[in-house]
Chains A and B, each alone.
Chain A
C-alpha cells in the first residue's frame, strides 16, 4: 500500500451537480497532484498543490478547483458536472525538491456522471 487514500471509491452524480473528492496523502509529503483518467486512456494532469498553493494546472476549466490542507489532506472540487467528467480521479502525493522523488498514487475515485 502507498499510504495515499482516496474517498469515496465510487460516486454517481447527476449532470449539473457539484462533487468533492478527498485524498489523504503521505505524511511529510509537500505536494499533491490530481489526475483525471478516462476509461482506456492515460491520466491527464489536472493541477498540483505545493505547500497549500496551486503550483501548476493542466488544460482543465476553472470549474475544477482544489485545496491542500496542512494535515496532508487535499480536495478536488468539480462544479457544474458534465457527462465527460465521468472518469477515474487519481491523487498523487510526493516530496518535490528531492532528486529521484516518487509520486505515490491512491486507488482513485470512480466518478460517473449521468
Chain B
C-alpha cells in the first residue's frame, strides 16, 4: 500500500513534442505529490508538486494532472527540449513528515 507505480520505464520524444509520464498510488493518506528530476551524478531536484485538492498545476512547460478518484497523477512536459533529457521520479508523501515514497523512475531522452 506504500508503493508508487511509475510508467513508462523509458521514453524517447522528439524535440518540441510532449513528454508524458504516469504514476499511480494506493495509500489515500498521501497528501503531497512531488516530481523530481535527476541528472547523472546529481541528486534529485524538485521540479513541481501538487496536492490532492487540485486537479492540475502548471509551471512553465511542466504540468501535473491529478485524478484523485483514480489515484493517478501524471507529468506533462510541453515543447520538450534536449536539456530535459534526465530521469524523472514521481513521489508521494505526507506533508507532516515529508518521508518520500518514490516511483521507479522514467529515463527521458529528447531527440534533437
CB distance from A96 to the nearest CB of B (A): 5
User: In the complex, which of the residues A43, A48, A55 contacts B102, with contact meaning CB atoms closer than 8 Å?
Assistant: A43
**Is there an interface contact between B100 and A41, defined as CB atoms closer than 8 Å?**
no
User: In the complex, which of the residues B34, B45, B97 contacts A96, with contact meaning CB atoms closer than 8 Å?
Assistant: B97
User: In the complex, which of the residues A31, A45, A48 contacts B101, with contact meaning CB atoms closer than 8 Å?
Assistant: A45
Given that A2-B45, A105-B43, A107-B42 are known contacts, is A42 also in contact with B104, CB under 8 Å in the complex?
yes
**B79 within 8 A of partner (CB):** no
- Secondary structure of the A side of the interface? loop
Q: How many contacts between A and B, using CB within 8 angstroms?
A: 62
Q: Is the interface on chain A under 10, 10 to 19, 20 to 34, or 35 or more residues? A: 20 to 34
- Secondary structure of the B side of the interface? loop
Contacts of A100 in B (CB 8 A): 49
**Is there an interface contact between A43 and B97, defined as CB atoms closer than 8 Å?**
no
Contacts of B99 in A (CB 8 A): 33, 45, 48, 56, 58
Contacts of B43 in A (CB 8 A): 2, 4, 90, 92, 105-108
Contacts of A107 in B (CB 8 A): 41-43
**Is there an interface contact between B104 and A56, defined as CB atoms closer than 8 Å?**
no
**A101 within 8 A of partner (CB):** yes
- In the A-B complex, the 7 residue pairs with the smallest Cβ-Cβ separation, listed nearest first, are A105-B43, A42-B102, A42-B104, A43-B102, A107-B43, A42-B105, A105-B44
Interface residues of A (CB under 8 A from B): 2, 4, 31, 33, 35, 40-45, 48, 50, 55-56, 58, 90, 92, 94, 96, 99-103, 105-108
Could you list 19 examples of A-B contacts with CB < 8 Å?
A2-B45, A33-B98, A35-B100, A40-B105, A42-B6, A42-B102, A43-B100, A45-B100, A48-B97, A48-B98, A48-B99, A55-B97, A58-B99, A90-B44, A96-B98, A99-B95, A101-B98, A102-B49, A106-B43
